[in-house]
Structure formats: structure tokens, C-alpha cells
Structure 1
């Protein structure tokens, strides 16, 4: 039993080594420049090990994005409002963003690679691009549901699209912050948070 457990642990260590190597290469060389030979050289593992875990390069890059996202999202505040939470929307939004945006400068692999794939066009859509888009849709849905929890029935009836529009504003803003940080590293998260919260708060006030 102990031997089987060690074997499983060894396999996971190898899998993570491959994912880490592929993430580094994709960040440096893009999707097209990421090759199995480069991954094997960087990871120090043979091609047979790569193909043991991943059927091809497309599957490997998709798993890089998935692995990075799952690690990142596990450390993020949840877009779930406690029914007992009586803070106004602006205060609640500030609390969530104050934690989440500070992780963006660390450049999670799923964001870096996902954005690169969004800008590339190819006849067959990469599996990683599909996963990245599906993940963004799911996150947008969670944020929209969080906004909706603050809206009364009348506001929801008058502006059924408002919550999703605000969710997209939040996502677009954090996208911009992430990309900006790749160019300039002198950023003030508190200023950024204050601007996003003010925009959202004013939009809700105008809609009401």
C-alpha cells in the first residue's frame, strides 16, 4: 500500500514538472513555439512521460491552463454573498477586489497563456482557448449572481442585463490591470480598486 502511494506521488511530481516546464515555454515562445521536445528538455523527463499524461501538445497546454486556474482560484475570495452580510454593494465589492487583484501581478499562467490564445487565430481552435473562454464565462456568471443578490426585484426587472454587464466590467478591468502590469510594475492596487468600485456603484445608482 505504501509503495502504491509513493508511486502515485511520484507520478504527480512528474506531471507537475511537465506542466511547469510547458507553462514556462508557452510564456516565452507562445503556443506555436511550445513543442514536446522543448518540454522534455526543460522538464528533464522523456517524451514517453509526457505522452503518458497528455495525448498531444494541445491537451498539454489545456492542462497547463486548467492547473494554473485551479491553483489560483482556490486562493481567491468566493463570489458568494452570505445572506447575513449587510454591507452595501460598494463595500462588499471593495473587500473582494482588495484580495483578488493583488494576485494578478504574479501573472498566473492561465491568464498569460489564455490571453495569448485569444489573440491567435487558427483553423482548429485550441483546447486551451476553449477552456479559458469557458472559465471566463463561468467566472462572469458567478460575479453576475453576486451583483444580482444586491438588486431588488424592480431593478432586476427593469435592467435584467445589468448584473452581467457589471461582471464584464470587472473582468475587463482586471484584464487591463494584468496587461498593464506586464509593461509597468509601478501600480497602486488601492487606486485601481477605488476606480472600479466607483464605476460600478455609479452604474447601479443610475440604473436605480
Structure 2
């Protein structure tokens, strides 16, 4: 009987995902092999292929699974009452999410790795990571559109998406800086983002 027959299927699947994430973080895309994943997970190749078509399919699921777990723990991007400024509302929302970055969620670590590598055939995981980024950017943009003065949005409809892109770019920078040099001060980072966003909004208002 295979490992899938004798163990709980979901437990086996999670063991494979965990092993693949660990090896990808250690060895990169090319170094993440089926044999290494099987050795690390303690499951035979037949179990891996029971759940996943190939390595590409497996790493894409690592990205998807990690993002779902991370996203479920984040605060909802819902508009705050009118008496709370955009800056204060943004600071409250980022307070929690910024602190989750040092733990290096697999979707960020593997997603950045795949995004930076150019291949003749684009890995499914890379496309999925870029899709996740777009979904996060859209959620941020919707929050800004609902939180910023309606007249300003009417005159500068691209502003919410520009601000969302800015936050994602700054977050990418923080994540990479932490991985490279262990630079980490979440409160300072959030204050920096809020200051940049408030300045961008003030400049947009001044252009009217």
C-alpha cells in the first residue's frame, strides 16, 4: 500500500508542501527536485504524484497554500469611520501585516524567486504569484478609493492604484532587506509608508 493509503491524505499533502517549501528556500527552483522533496517529506514519489502533476504544479500549490494561510490572518481591508484619517487607518491595517513579513511566508520567498528568474516556459507558480500581487493591489486600491475624498478620486481616478503599487513596492523592499541584512523595525517601516502615502495624497490635492 502507498503512503497515501496508510496515512491521512491531507497530512501527506501538507508534508509534501512543507518539504517543497523548505527545499525551494534552501536550493532555489532548479535545486528543488522530486527526489529531495520525497526524502525530506518521508513519502515516496507515488504519493507526490498522487497530489501533484509535477514540480511546477507542486510549487504553484505551495505559493497558493501559503498565501491563503497568510491572508486568512490579515485584517480585512474595510473603510474606517469618517473621523479616522487615511493615514491613521492605513497605519492600523499595516500594523499587523508588516509584522508577519519576517517569518517569510513561502508565497513571498518562492514567489520572488520565481518572479526574478526568466524562463522560456513560465512556471505556473510565477504566474500565480503575479496574480496574487494583482489581487492584493486591487484590494488596496479599493480601500483607498473608499477612504480618500470622493472629489479627489473623481479628478484623479488612477490615484488609488498608484498608492497601492507604492505600498507593494515598499513592502517588497522591506522583505528583501530583511532577508539580506536582517533590517527590521516594523513601526518605523509603517510610519514611513504612511508618511509617503500622506505626502502623495497632499500633492495630488495640491495639483487640483
TM-score normalized by the length of structure 2 = 0.93
Q: Tell me the C-alpha RMSD between the 2 structures.
A: 1.5
Q: Could you tell me how far 1:66 is from its partner in structure 2?
A: 0.6
Gaps of 5+ in 2: none
Counterparts of 1:13 and 1:35, CA distance in 2: 21
Q: Could you tell me how far 1:127 is from its partner in structure 2?
A: 0.3
- One of 155, 161, 164 as aligned partner of 1:167: 164
Q: Could you tell me how far 1:156 is from its partner in structure 2?
A: 1.4
Counterparts of 2:134 and 2:108, CA distance in 1: 14
Match of 2:125 in 1: 128
Q: Could you tell me how far 1:151 is from its partner in structure 2?
A: 2.5
Counterparts of 1:53-68 in structure 2, within 5 Å, are: 53-68=51-66
Q: What's the CA shift string for 1:41-93, capped at 9, x where partnerless? A: 000000000000001111000001111111111101121225x4631100000
Q: Kindly tell me: are residues 59 and 179 of structure 1, through their superposed partners in 2, closer, same or farther at Cα, counting changes over 3 Å?
A: same
**Aligned with 2:181: secondary structure?**
coil
1:177 is aligned to 2:177:
no
Match of 2:186 in 1: 189
Match of 1:76 in 2: 74
1:49 is aligned to 2:47:
yes
Q: Could you tell me how far 1:95 is from its partner in structure 2?
A: 0.2
- One of 143, 147, 150 as aligned partner of 2:144: 147
Q: Could you tell me how far 1:8 is from its partner in structure 2?
A: 11
Q: What's the CA shift string for 1:166-205, capped at 9, x where partnerless? A: 0011111111111000122242111111111001011111
Counterparts of 2:59 and 2:202, CA distance in 1: 43
8 A Cα contact 2:86 2:148, kept in partner: no
Match of 2:106 in 1: 109
Counterparts of 1:12 and 1:205, CA distance in 2: 50
TM-score normalized by the length of structure 1 = 0.93
8 A Cα contact 2:177 2:183, kept in partner: no
